[in-house]
Structure 1
Amino acid sequence: MLALIGAFTILGATSKAVEPLSFGAKVGFVNSSIIGLDKAKKSVGNKDSEGNMFNPGFIGSAYVEYAFLDNVGAGLEVGYSGGFVSVASVKAKDDKEGKDTYKINLHRINIFPAVKFYPMGREDENGILKLHVGADLSIPVMAKKKQGDKDAEEIKRDEFAPFGIGAIAGVGYEFPCGLELDLRGSYAFTDVFKENSDFKKNTLGISDSKDKTNLYYGNFSVGYNFAVLLEE
C-alpha cells in the first residue's frame, strides 16, 4: 500500500500544467464552396447546374494562445488561404467531361479570434484536448474566374465584398512534444459578392437579391507550438 501511495505521489509531482502562453504556426488543407452556385445557370450556358462539393485549397497561419485558467483560454490566429484551383465551382448537371464547369478562386487574409476550452485540463504528460469557437474575419486579396478549359481571368475587386464575417468551431489536440492537429469548420454570414455586382447578376446569373453567396469550408491543419522549445 505504501508503495502504491508513493507511486501516485511521484506521478503527481512529475505531472505539471503546461505554460499558459503558446505560439506557433500551422499549415493545412481546406475544402470550400459557396452557397447559391446551384442557381448560377448563366455561367454554364443556361443549363441546369449544381455546385461542386470538392474544391481543395490551402491555409497557412501563425497563432498565439493564452490559457487564463486550466480549462479556459483565448487565441488569435492570422493566416492566408486560397484554392489550389478554386474555392468554389459550378457545373452543368449533364456535363461529363468538365467543359461546362465554372470555377471561382479567392485568396484571402483570415483572422480568427476564438475562445478556447480545455475539457481535460492542461497537463504536460497527457497532451491537451482543445475545443474552440470564434469568429472568421476575412479580407479578400484577389479573385479569379475560369470557364471550362479557357485561361483564368481576374475578377474586379469592386465585384466582391471588401470584408467577410463568419463563425468557426472546431476541435484540436496538442501532443506533449508540441505537435498539434486541428479540425474546424467555418460559415460566413456575409456574401462573397456584392448584392448588385455585375459579376453576380450577369456572369453567374444570380439575379434575385434573396439569393446569397455565403462561403463555407472545412479545414484540417497540422501545427507546432514553439513555446514547448522554451520550457525547461
Structure 2
Amino acid sequence: MKVIKKTLVAGVLACSALNAQAEVDALSYGIKAAYSASYLSANQGAKFKGDKEMSAKLLGNQFIAGSLYVEYAFNDYIGLGLEAGYMKQGGVLKEKAAENKATTTSPETSSASTDTATKVKEDSIEITTNGIIVPLSLYVYPLGREEGEGIFKLAFGLSAYVPVGDPDLKQIKNGTDAQIDVSKVLADTDKKKQLPGFDFAIHAGMAWEFPVGLSMEARGSFGLMNRFDLEKDKTQTVFDDITDLKVLKNNYFSFSLGYNLATLFCD
C-alpha cells in the first residue's frame, strides 16, 4: 500500500513538473530595431510669413532606432513592459500646396511655368533631436499565452524622451536655405528655453511574437508636451519666417523587429 501511495505521489509531482515546463516563461527580455517616422503638429493659426498656410511632412524625419526591453506577464492575459532606447525625433513643417507657386500667363508659357514650380523650394522649418526614449507599456494578450503558440499583444502606455546634445535646426525661407546658428540661439536666454527639451507622450500598438522568440510590432505615439517653453499667448522667436507658432508637438509611428533573448535559455 505504501509503495502504491509513493508511486501516485511521484506521478503527481512528475505531471506538475511537466505542466510547469509547458507554461510560457513570464519574464522575457531582448532587443528591438525599429524604423521610425516622426512628424510635428502645430497649433491652429500658425503660418509662414505672407499668410502662407503650413502643414506637417509625415515622413519628414526617418530613423532606425534601437532599444532593449524587458517584459513580465502577470498572468496569461496581462503584462507590463519597459524599454530604453535611442531615437531621433522631430520633423518638418512646410508650406502647404507649394506646388501652386508658379503662375501661368499663357498656353505657350504654361509648360515652363510648371517646370519652375517643381524646382522652387517650399518654405519650411525642420527641428530634430537625438535622445533617449523610455516607454512603459501595459500589454494585453487577447488570445492568452500558450507554449508553442504565437502571442498576440496589444500595447498601451506612456513614454519619456530626453534629448541628448543640441538640436538640429533648418529653415528654408523664400525658396532659399536660411541657416540657423544654433550657438547663437543657445546664447540667447529667451530663445534657448524654446528649444526642444524633455517630452512626455502616450502610445498604442500591436505586436505578434512567434514561438521562436522573433517579434514584430507596430506602434503610434502622440506627444503631450509643447516643444516650446513659452509664456501664455507668446509665440516662438527661433524661426523668423513663421507667425503665431505657439504650440509644437512631436508624434511618430514605428515598425520594429525584436528578439526575445530568454528563448535561448529555454529547453
Structure 2 residue 202 is matched with structure 1 residue 167:
yes
What is the alpha-carbon distance in structure 1 between the residues aligned to residue 181 and residue 212 of structure 2? 45
Aligned to 1:89: 92
Structure 1 counterpart of 2:169, from 136, 145, 155: 145
Cα RMSD for the two superposed structures: 2.9
Q: Deviations over 1:130-177 (max 9, x none)?
A: 111111111122311112346575464532353211111111011111
Aligned-pair distance for 1:206? 4.9
CA contact (8 A) 2:40 2:250 kept: yes
Aligned to 1:25: 31
What is the alpha-carbon distance in structure 2 between the residues aligned to residue 89 and residue 162 of structure 1? 17
Number of residue pairs the alignment of both structures matches: 215
Aligned-pair distance for 1:199? 8.4
CA contact (8 A) 1:39 1:205 kept: no
Aligned to 2:261: 226
Identify, as 1 or 2, the structure richer in helix: 2
CA contact (8 A) 1:39 1:50 kept: no
Alignment map for 1:75-224 (pairs within 5 Å): 75-82=81-88, 87-96=90-99, 97-141=120-164, 142-148=166-172, 149=177, 153-154=181-182, 156=186, 158-196=193-231, 200-203=236-239, 205-207=242-244, 211-224=246-259
TM-score (norm. length: structure 1): 0.80
Aligned-pair distance for 1:125? 1.5
Aligned to 2:54: 49
Q: Deviations over 1:203-230 (max 9, x none)?
A: 163546xx42121111111111100001
What is the alpha-carbon distance in structure 2 between the residues aligned to residue 215 and residue 58 of structure 1? 17
Q: Deviations over 1:42-88 (max 9, x none)?
A: 4x7763332212222232110000111111111101111115xxx31
Q: Against the structure 1 CA distance between its residues 39 and 52, is the aligned structure 2 distance closer, same or farther, given a 3 Å change threshold?
A: farther
What is the alpha-carbon distance in structure 2 between the residues aligned to residue 226 and residue 184 of structure 1? 21
The runs of 5 or more residues in structure 1 that have no matched partner are 1-11
Q: Against the structure 1 CA distance between its residues 40 and 59, is the aligned structure 2 distance closer, same or farther, given a 3 Å change threshold?
A: farther
- Give the letter aligned to residue 226 of structure 1: L
Q: Against the structure 1 CA distance between its residues 202 and 78, is the aligned structure 2 distance closer, same or farther, given a 3 Å change threshold?
A: closer
Aligned-pair distance for 1:16? 2.7
Counterpart secondary structure, 2:98: coil
- Give the letter aligned to residue 160 of structure 1: L
Structure 1 counterpart of 2:70, from 64, 68, 77: 64
Q: Percent identity?
A: 30
What is the alpha-carbon distance in structure 1 between the residues aligned to residue 80 and residue 230 of structure 2? 34
Aligned-pair distance for 1:196? 4.3
TM-score (norm. length: structure 2): 0.70
Q: Which protein shows a greater Rg? A: 2
Aligned-pair distance for 1:95? 3.2
